[in-house]
Structure 1
């Protein structure tokens, strides 16, 4: 069910929610968190679809704040709202707020009256995000703040901006997309022989901040000389292409040569094919919502790991 509320207020939206619950039996009990999605006009549906899918694992209230920062500042203040429940909202209830004029200037006030009481708040910017998410109006009220460097015009620059603006509780999908790669590499290193890694090489597309972040994680964890190569998109597929771990006894190679499937080569062992699909928005969002405390490992990698990788680059280790 979708209820349209043109030219309304947050108070009227809240009252309508109560009315819908009383008349239709839709309840807020069991909602474990409030997800606030800050997006540009026209980009709401993809984010809502991902949130609806993720809500089946994490029942929640979804508040979508849609505004255009480049909109003429002299427009009359106006708030158009939409409430989705039932089959149109998965296991959540979705409130879409389309703000214009002065109504779009105070995002915090727009959502404060709609947050679930005593429930954690997660803010997600699927596209453009503030320079310092932790100090933004929607970031200050959140326990977790999620960005996506890969959606920016310059993903590599956006990743380093995440490092300089990092506040405990921040997260980026560039890190979330590494979960399967990190698990597979950790499994390889848990097998004999247990010889130390002497060199690491990571390759990927230039529009893949995950490639740089994977190199930073490996450099931080293995303390081995690390190189990473970023290739133009037209020369290969998007995302991470492969990882080489060099030992005295030979090189371990994990290469994603076809979409969704990687080839694992280890000295003295047969070639294995490993499922390594690129994670979609739903998977990344559901993964990040599994923890509502700061991701300390991400914080260490995005700050210290990237900095160490920068030192390696200055020493000529970067390829």
Structure 2
């Protein structure tokens, strides 16, 4: 059910919510948090709401969408309430703010927050350089940005690394969960040798590639090279050097990775790029500080200077970028019985 309230106030929205609760049941009971979505009133707004609705099935919540409309319009709030099948396991309040009110999101949101529950603020597109200093970020215990959605992802990530405080996180980091899991699992297999160096290859403007390299640099305490490529989107390859031979995880198509390491059969691993819904669900599982993400941000300063993009053949790429996955290895991977399924990847 969708109820439109044009040119409304937060008081009228609250009265309508009470009316809906009394008429149709306890809408607000059982909610574990308030999710505030800060976005522009554009074509991508509904995608963000859909992702929040899906996430609410695991994390029942009140979703408050603050959509900034035309700044030149007359000041007003166009409200919308969604419940039932149009709101997943949540109740959704959409606030479209126009004119001078577009910059007064905090005043519009505070009366609608659920009492005695944590608040999470999510910027699905362009976000602030310092999320904790933003007016909507100040309301939240957890602040979620997405550097990949910025016009300059690497610059945005660098800005947020300088302004990081406990509670900040980024979906570019969440998209790395399965890459990190596969690399850690590979190190749990013999031979148990120290890592002497590493390289991470990916698209020039991929913030996930930067964070993965920073994570390796911080925790391995070895030289890590960030290699840029134009061959594919996102992360393409990771190489961990050891005395007996390297561990290499290579994903050229954004879907399936090939893992090779000495003494182990070549394996194919599902590493699909994760969507916002899956990443948001994962982030809402924890509301405390993410110390590992903070460490990855610190590791960005330890990276060796990025190398220039290499040409596209797999063999040439391996020679120039340290990712020596040959066609014969990829062919062997296609026929090996040792296949590992993982969830989506960055």
User: Please, what TM-score do these two structures have when normalized by structure 1?
Assistant: 0.93
Structure 1: give runs of 5+ residues left out of the alignment. none
Aligned residue for 2:134? 136
Q: C-alpha distance in 1, partners of 2:158/2:194?
A: 29
**1:1-319 alignment, distance < 5 Å:** 1-42=1-42, 43-68=44-69, 71-72=71-72, 75-232=73-230, 236-302=231-297, 304-309=298-303, 312-313=304-305
1:26 to partner: Cα distance = 4.3
Higher deviation after alignment, 99-108 or 82-91: 99-108
Q: C-alpha distance in 2, partners of 1:270/1:186?
A: 17
Q: C-alpha distance in 2, partners of 1:57/1:135?
A: 29
Q: C-alpha distance in 2, partners of 1:222/1:145?
A: 28
Instruction: Give the aligned CA root-mean-square deviation in angstroms.
Output: 1.3
User: How far does the alpha carbon of each residue in 1:155-194 deviate from its partner, in whole angstroms, 9 at most, with x for none?
Assistant: 1111111111212111001110010000110111111111
SS at match of 1:129: coil
Structure 2: give runs of 5+ residues left out of the alignment. 307-320, 322-346
1:128 to partner: Cα distance = 1.2
SS at match of 2:17: helix
User: Please, what TM-score do these two structures have when normalized by structure 2?
Assistant: 0.86
1:105 to partner: Cα distance = 2.2
Q: C-alpha distance in 2, partners of 1:159/1:195?
A: 33
SS at match of 1:194: coil
Q: C-alpha distance in 2, partners of 1:279/1:6?
A: 36
SS at match of 2:259: strand
Per the alignment, do residues 259 and 307 of structure 1 end up closer, same or farther by CA in structure 2, a change over 3 Å counting?
A: closer
1:6 to partner: Cα distance = 0.3
Q: C-alpha distance in 2, partners of 1:115/1:176?
A: 26
Q: Is the 8 A contact 1:257 1:263 kept in 2?
A: no
Q: C-alpha distance in 2, partners of 1:215/1:102?
A: 42
1:206 to partner: Cα distance = 1.5
SS at match of 1:137: coil
